[in-house]
Structure 1
Amino acid sequence: MYTKLVSSVLFPLHEQLKRHSSVALRRELESSQWFNTDKLAAIQLHKLNQFMLNIAQHVPYYRGLFADLGLTPGQFQSVSEIAQLPLLDKATIRNAGQLLRADNAGPLSLFNTGGSSGQPLQFMVGKQRKSHDIAAKWRATRWWDVDIGDKELVVWGSPIELKTQDRLKQLRDTLFRSQLLPAFAMSEQHLKGYIEDIRRFAPTMLFGYPSSLSLIARYAKLHNITMSDLGIKVAFVTSERLFENQKALISEVFNCPVANGYGGRDAGFIAHQCPQGGMHISAEDIIVEIIDKLGNPLPAGEVGEVVVTHLATAEFPFVRYRTGDLACLGTDLCPCGRHLPLLESIEGRTTDFIIAADGTTMHALSLIYVLRELSNVAEFKIIQESQFHTRLLLVMQSDVDNASIDFIRRNFHQRLGDIQLDIEFVTQIPREKSGKFKYVESKVGVTWDYA
């Protein structure tokens, strides 16, 4: 009864006050997910043409781009014609700056993300994009027979969530029965407290990084703490690659299925797993292309880089945005009956753990978010040589200033303790043999056995 009150009354009221259209959009998505492939493709093409007309008229960057290319917006005959437009990467977004902001944009929120590429990025998000992302996630949540208002335990590390734990948000979380645990510090003391919090709260669903949830699960298993009797229906994981051993451990300890999600703050909510195992793309809002090393689109079944066009980002467009992740488009339909296209073989980047001087195991994002705060950092790599020695490679967009360096040192020492921190300024940071970027490299083995 309480879940129904939240999902049908309190949360819709919350979204209405925030001027979000997520409630109506979720209803539309729950209908369109059953449309056949041709009808979904027609909807996507119509939205794409409307999107192109919009950004060509109101976004200076794309107004100039269409003119330079000699293209008439809004006249694509197929979605594949989007390949006539250039790829968008973080460097292009940084260089374009305010030229990517629509002249008719409503209120926009500034987001910072370095992602796992190690390249900090600032971009703007409007209410339309937020509404679509909320609706897509909400739809996927309901696939697992849980809803907004069911007890949710979140293990997360974004400063957007952690810095806004004011009374109003605490009240909202209490009403919606959502509890947040920070994923930054994962010491034995914290893990013991997390276990106690989870048992006390008895959530219906879990949400978090796969590395963090698996670490909690491993601690519970090592200490013979029963977590299988809480009635947890599903554990949603996202933001990192989900490994099979993590999935098996989380499922075993919490006695629930693990639902994988793929996306990001920049690219949006891209795909989510249904109970039958298919990673369904939110195709009503997002166009996913797979490209080879030369930027050429690849057919379904072939692995390449994931490129995303989010059709609800007209106020600050993401068009053919390079995620840096590897995957392929599925060649078959999911047995669940939904005709949403599938994403397979996702090789998203992974986030390492690091060890503080006092032995605390910490999520690497605790350091990454420090660097994300600095707009003059173009690229970075954190190398933990030992428990007491860390190197930081920095590629700067502008001249080095003492205030930025002091900021980095102060925050790194707050998190890592009394260590030697060497900051090295370089012009380029080499990639791995695979061509992917590893933004954190730890040479310190993490010991899971706390006994």
Structure 2
Amino acid sequence: MNLFNLSLKLKGFPIQKAKLALKRIKGLSVEDKAQYIINKRTEIINYHLQQNTFYKSFANKANVNDWNSIPVLTKKNLQQPLNNRLSKGFTTKNCQVNNTSGSSGYPLSFAKDKFCHALTWSIFMDRYGWHDLDINTSKQARFYGIPLDKKSYYKERLKDKLSNRFRFSVFDMSDKQLAKNVTLFSKFDYEYLYGYSNALTLFAKYLKRETIVLKDVCKSLKACIATSETLFEEDKKILETQFGVPVINEYGCAELGLIAFQNSKNEWLINSDDLYVEILDENDNILPYGEQGRIVITSLYNKAHPFIRYDLGDIGTLSKKSTLTKPILESLAGRTNDTLNLPSGKTAAGFTMYYVTKTIIEDASKIKEFMLEQFKIDTFKVSYVAEEELSEIQKETIKKALDDYLEPGLHVSFDRKESLERAKSGKVKQFISYVKK
């Protein structure tokens, strides 16, 4: 049963309409596709200049006939309540609202109109089909985080059920837990693994130590999709060897959906169906194919919220083989997270920090940036940028989250700053450990 399609339809997302639209886009000739991209760029800019007060003010010098006059939008520009950024006719009740992980250092609430959200999922479905995977029917082994408060926890579990997936927690990556994971793989017909590159690599290294090939344990496995963090080539080889299946690189973000996905020819294809991707230098000049720079993306369909020339904070390179209609991502930098080692001997993926910090991120206007550092195996510091100090209640909430997601007895201090030190890529790394492994 296509439960995922049904769940989208019941929530008011026009999935069938979106699939038909995607089919039309994919059926365009190379020449027509190029014109389609240019037309959609102009259309979405015009729309937000007319219908979005925030964007009209932000891009008050924009000339729709001169692409270089369109200003680059950053997460810092969006650091204000979501209602201030919505287009006319859209509210938090009639569109899809979500939050980013804050992995770039800037947590952000955002919205998508319902058609845009449906089109995003249509594209995911299409790309998974490249590898004989069906989001509706292929059972997924998901190595991902999960909120621990009851309401959010059961909401995620329901989403997992509707999406035909089982979630393996990345909060505990100890050998004892990973052995239990292997047992589960022997009992169920998972078709693919999906999750944080860091967590998948920890699992693969455990399998290597135990001389286990996962495909031998779970014959139904077809593929592994690594996402959210940079997957280094040496780690990819370990994954392919220990899982016994092809490893596919996925690149996406909550605000925009699928940005790039590897095909069967090992090309990391940029999604040019509903996105327009550019590589810019530090002065916002467009770089030629083959040169590394800032990844800046325009969402061609999101009418609820502008993401026009939106700077993700990532650094990457488009291959010299790229064209307007077939851009190829050659490299991606700046999406790595450290591994957490704890006093009890427990190991957890660094992305766990997303769930810790999310406990206090209710709106982007409260906490603008954050970073968590581990100085000793039991000692952490939260550095943050905010208009006012965290209250004692908020600090206790974070400490409680560390107890719940990691383990009790950890020491944590707080440091409010005017700004956080940024890496060369322009990112604030969300978690840094100075503890030697």
Report the TM-score, using the length of structure 2 for normalisation. 0.89
Work out which of the residue numbers 305, 314, 318 in structure 2 matches 1:316: 305
Q: What's the secondary structure of 2:143's corresponding residue?
A: strand
Distance 1:31 1:109, change over 3 A: closer
Offset at residue 221 of structure 1 (A): 2.0
Distance 1:312 1:228, change over 3 A: same
1:340 and 2:326 matched: yes
**1:267-346 paired onto structure 2 within 5 Å:** 267-332=256-321, 340-346=326-332
Partner of 1:198: 185
Letter in 2 for 1:50: E
Partner of 1:420: 411
Q: Is the 8 A contact 1:383 1:440 kept in 2?
A: yes
**1:358-437 paired onto structure 2 within 5 Å:** 358-372=344-358, 373-374=360-361, 375=363, 376-414=366-404, 415-433=406-424, 435-437=426-428
Instruction: State the alpha-carbon separation in 2 of the partners of residues 345 and 248 from structure 1.
Output: 17
Q: Is the 8 A contact 2:313 2:426 kept in 1?
A: no
Offset at residue 254 of structure 1 (A): 1.5
Distance 1:314 1:411, change over 3 A: same
Instruction: State the alpha-carbon separation in 1 of the partners of residues 116 and 46 from structure 2.
Output: 17
1:153 and 2:141 matched: yes
**1:80-99 paired onto structure 2 within 5 Å:** 81-95=66-80, 97-99=82-84
Offset at residue 206 of structure 1 (A): 1.3
Partner of 2:33: 40
Q: List alignment gaps of at least 5 residues for structure 1.
A: 447-451
Instruction: State the alpha-carbon separation in 1 of the partners of residues 187 and 287 from structure 2.
Output: 49
Q: What's the secondary structure of 1:346's corresponding residue?
A: strand
Letter in 2 for 1:386: K
Instruction: State the alpha-carbon separation in 2 of the partners of residues 108 and 175 from structure 1.
Output: 20
Instruction: State the alpha-carbon separation in 2 of the partners of residues 404 and 258 from structure 1.
Output: 40
Q: What's the secondary structure of 2:321's corresponding residue?
A: coil
Distance 1:317 1:434, change over 3 A: closer
1:60 and 2:47 matched: no
Offset at residue 211 of structure 1 (A): 1.2
Report the TM-score, using the length of structure 1 for normalisation. 0.87
Instruction: State the alpha-carbon separation in 2 of the partners of residues 381 and 258 from structure 1.
Output: 30
Q: What's the secondary structure of 1:341's corresponding residue?
A: coil
Q: Is the 8 A contact 1:205 1:236 kept in 2?
A: yes
**1:172-183 paired onto structure 2 within 5 Å:** 173-174=160-161, 177-183=164-170
Q: Is the 8 A contact 2:334 2:425 kept in 1?
A: no
Instruction: State the alpha-carbon separation in 1 of the partners of residues 379 and 62 from structure 2.
Output: 54
Letter in 2 for 1:420: H
Percent identity, please: 26
Distance 1:200 1:48, change over 3 A: same
Q: What's the secondary structure of 2:73's corresponding residue?
A: coil
Instruction: State the alpha-carbon separation in 2 of the partners of residues 278 and 13 from structure 1.
Output: 32
Partner of 2:128: 141
Distance 1:435 1:47, change over 3 A: closer
Instruction: State the alpha-carbon separation in 2 of the partners of residues 205 and 114 from structure 1.
Output: 24
Distance 1:325 1:333, change over 3 A: closer
Instruction: State the alpha-carbon separation in 1 of the partners of residues 67 and 325 from structure 2.
Output: 22
Stretch deviating more after TM superposition (418-427 or 237-246): 418-427
RMSD, aligned CA? 2.6
Instruction: State the alpha-carbon separation in 2 of the partners of residues 221 and 70 from structure 1.
Output: 55
Provide the aligned length of Structure 1 versus Structure 2.
427
Instruction: State the alpha-carbon separation in 2 of the partners of residues 392 and 169 from structure 1.
Output: 29
Q: What's the secondary structure of 1:13's corresponding residue?
A: helix
Q: List alignment gaps of at least 5 residues for structure 2.
A: none
Offset at residue 283 of structure 1 (A): 0.8
Cα distance per residue 1:32-66 (max 9 Å; x no partner): 44644322111112222222232222211123345
Q: Is the 8 A contact 1:15 1:23 kept in 2?
A: no
Q: Is the 8 A contact 2:371 2:428 kept in 1?
A: no
Q: Is the 8 A contact 1:301 1:329 kept in 2?
A: yes
Instruction: State the alpha-carbon separation in 2 of the partners of residues 192 and 101 from structure 1.
Output: 47
Partner of 1:449: none
Instruction: State the alpha-carbon separation in 2 of the partners of residues 310 and 108 from structure 1.
Output: 16
Distance 1:163 1:239, change over 3 A: farther
Stretch deviating more after TM superposition (311-320 or 348-357): 348-357
Letter in 2 for 1:304: G
Instruction: State the alpha-carbon separation in 2 of the partners of residues 173 and 161 from structure 1.
Output: 16
Instruction: State the alpha-carbon separation in 1 of the partners of residues 265 and 170 from structure 2.
Output: 29
Instruction: State the alpha-carbon separation in 2 of the partners of residues 69 and 436 from structure 1.
Output: 27
Q: Is the 8 A contact 2:142 2:195 kept in 1?
A: yes
Q: Is the 8 A contact 2:367 2:384 kept in 1?
A: yes
Distance 1:28 1:97, change over 3 A: closer
